[in-house]
């Protein structure tokens, strides 16, 4: 994978902009980056107790994708295994940053091992992670 510089957030308002934009389907497509995926999940966990990420994020992401002209199919758009693995990773990283503010917590997540784009490939071969089966449903890691 190409190594991209991590885009950190400068304020709680910037974090909320991403999360609220995802839910309202008003976030510009260009802002729906790797970091935004993780930050939106963290914001939901921290500030939206009415949303259960494991249950609700799949449909939230699918609807958002469609609202910006994307397609959710067996080859593009929403990816179930990456989403569920990411929720677990976000929860673990947030547990290590209790007592800090929202922006500090999401930036700590983004700088943690779990925040790296290639982190899922520690547990999955590329073929398995990007398979049709992994996109459409949860598949167990094959490298652990």
Q: Is residue 31 domain-resident?
A: yes
Dihedral, 89, 19, 28, 58 alpha carbons, nearest 10? 60
The answer to whether residue 142 is domain-embedded is: no
| 112 domain-assigned | yes
Q: Which residue has the tokens 């995802």?
A: 22
Q: What percent of the chain has pLDDT over 70?
A: 98
Q: Is residue 1 a part of any domain in this protein?
A: no
Residue 92 host element (H or E): helix 80-95
What pLDDT score was predicted for residue 5? 84
Establish if 7 belongs to a structural domain: no
- Is 108 part of a structural domain of the chain? yes
Whole domain around residue 119: which residue ranges?
Answer: 12-136
Residue 3, pLDDT score: 63
Q: Tell me 76's DSSP state.
A: S
pLDDT per residue as tens digits for the range 35-71: 999 999 999 999 999 999 999 999 999 999 999 999 9
DSSP at 1: -
> pTM for the whole thing?
0.94
Q: Are 18 and 27 in contact, with CB atoms under 8 Å apart?
A: yes
In a domain, 144, yes or no: no
| Whole-angstrom distance, CA of residue 136 vs CA of residue 59 | 12
Q: Name 13's Cβ contacts closer than 8 Å, sequence gap at least 6.
A: none
pLDDT at 1 over 50: no
Confidence of residue 4 (pLDDT cuts 50, 70, 90): confident
Q: Which helix (H) or strand (E) holds 12?
A: helix 12-24
**Model confidence over 84-131: pLDDT tens digits?**
999 999 999 999 999 999 999 999 999 999 999 999 999 999 999 999
Number of domains in the chain: 1
């Amino acid at each position: 994978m190409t190594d991209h510089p991590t885009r950190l957030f400068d304020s709680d308002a910037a974090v909320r902009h991403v999360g609220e934009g995802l839910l309202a389907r008003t976030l510009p497509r260009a802002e729906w980056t790797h970091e935004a995926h993780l930050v939106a999940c963290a914001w939901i966990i921290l500030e939206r107790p009415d949303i259960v990420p494991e249950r609700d994020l799949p449909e939230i992401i699918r609807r958002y994708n469609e609202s910006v002209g994307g397609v959710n199919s067996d080859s593009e758009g929403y990816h179930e295994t990456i989403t569920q693995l990411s929720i677990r990773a976000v929860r673990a990283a947030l547990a290590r940053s209790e007592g800090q503010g929202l922006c500090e917590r999401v930036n700590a997540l983004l700088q943690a091992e779990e925040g790296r784009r290639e982190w899922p490939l520690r547990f999955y071969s590329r073929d398995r992670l990007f398979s049709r089966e992994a996109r459409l449903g949860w598949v167990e890691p094959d490298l652990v």
